[in-house]
């Protein structure tokens, strides 16, 4: 590679071996505009419907889920509620699963189950058929979760795949893979890690990353980032809207 003035360019290319192939207006961008215009012109939905749902989609993220986990660690009553009626427990951390339509998001449904890990049981979630994921409480799924590779392998070789995320589960711990294939959505309630005695709910929520709630990582004092951090950049990212 030729020398450049950009000091980060080499590292950048190593992280993102597949540089974007196209920078013109893509076929997807053209088709998306055509479909949206026609749907509005035919009265299927309004531009305001689209704007309202976009605002909802931009607001959701994993912090509510992390809050639920932290509170369950601190409050046995709340933990019981989370395990018995996760939809009700979600409301306590600010997530109303009936939003934004009055019957929930069309693709996520309104049935959540919290999977409780123990020192002898570790859960990990996948959807082998598409990408079913508890968006209202965890936000949109990470790219790797939707890949055929993760979906093919985690149900058959879970210990190997978890090892690729840096999570090595001891042999005396049962792995339970949850293949989220119908209307239930699932999130993992990990075991509260050692070294967190006396921590506040805010402190605890900091170490409950999205990857911990999918089950490909364990919470650890001092670790507040996901197991997977490499990001492939967009050509024209949604944030610029």
Partner 1 sequence: MSDLDLVGQLRPALHQVQDAPTPDQIDHARFRAYLKTSHDVGGEPDVPGVFELKEEEAWELNTYVTCEVLGWRGIWTSEERRRIQNVDIGRTIYLGLPYYGRWLLTAARVLVEKHHVTLGELIERVDEVRRRSPQQIGAEPPEAAPRVVGDPAAVKRNHHHLAAVGKGDPQCFAGMAGKPGFGVGDQVRVRGLPTLFYTRTQEYVRGVVGTVVKVSYESLAPEDEAFERDDQTPEWFYLVRFRMTDLWEPYAGCPGDTLQTELPERWLAAVDGATTRED
- In whole angstroms, the minimum distance from the beta carbon of 11 to partner 1 comes to 15
- How far is Cα 86 from Cα 188, in angstroms, rounded to an integer? 12
Q: Which of 90, 107, 127, 141 is catalytic?
A: 127
- In whole angstroms, the minimum distance from the beta carbon of 66 to partner 1 comes to 18
Closest to partner 1 by CB, 126 or 212: 126
- In whole angstroms, the minimum distance from the beta carbon of 188 to partner 1 comes to 13
169-191 in b/e burial notation, b at 16+ Cβ within 10 A?
eeeeeeeebbebeeeebbbbbbb
- In whole angstroms, the minimum distance from the beta carbon of 26 to partner 1 comes to 7
Beta pairing partners, 187: 114
- How far is Cα 132 from Cα 179, in angstroms, rounded to an integer? 9
- Cβ pair 214, 190 in contact under 8 A: no
At 154, is the secondary structure helix, strand, or coil? coil
Q: Which of 131, 141, 180, 212 is catalytic?
A: 131
Give the CA angle between residues 52, 126, 213 to the nearest 5°: 70
130 is catalytic: yes
At 76, is the secondary structure helix, strand, or coil? helix
Closest to partner 1 by CB, 73 or 150: 150
Closest to partner 1 by CB, 6 or 24: 24
Closest to partner 1 by CB, 97 or 199: 97
Annotated active-site positions, please? 127, 130-132
């Amino acid at each position: 590679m030729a020398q450049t003035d950009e000091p980060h360019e080499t590292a950048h290319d190593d992280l993102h071996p597949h540089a974007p192939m196209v920078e013109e207006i893509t076929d997807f961008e053209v088709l998306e505009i055509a479909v949206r215009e026609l749907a509005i012109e035919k009265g299927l939905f309004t531009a305001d419907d689209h704007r309202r749902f976009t605002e909802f989609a931009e607001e959701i993220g994993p912090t509510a889920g992390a809050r639920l986990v932290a509170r369950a660690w601190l409050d046995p009553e709340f933990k019981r509620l989370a395990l018995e009626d996760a939809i009700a427990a979600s409301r306590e951390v600010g997530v109303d699963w009936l939003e934004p339509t009055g019957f929930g998001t069309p693709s996520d449904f309104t049935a959540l189950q919290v999977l409780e890990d123990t020192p002898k049981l570790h859960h990990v979630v996948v959807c082998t058929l598409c990408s079913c994921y508890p968006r209202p409480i965890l936000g949109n799924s990470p790219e790797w979760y939707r890949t055929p590779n993760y979906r093919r392998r985690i149900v058959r070789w879970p210990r190997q795949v978890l090892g690729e995320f840096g999570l090595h589960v001891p042999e005396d711990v049962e792995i339970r893979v949850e293949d989220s294939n119908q209307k239930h959505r699932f999130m993992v309630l990990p075991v509260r890690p050692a070294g967190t005695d006396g921590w506040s709910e805010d402190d605890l929520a900091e170490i409950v990353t999205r990857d911990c709630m999918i089950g490909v990582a364990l919470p650890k004092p001092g670790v507040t980032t996901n197991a997977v951090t490499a990001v492939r950049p967009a050509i024209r990212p949604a944030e610029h809207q």
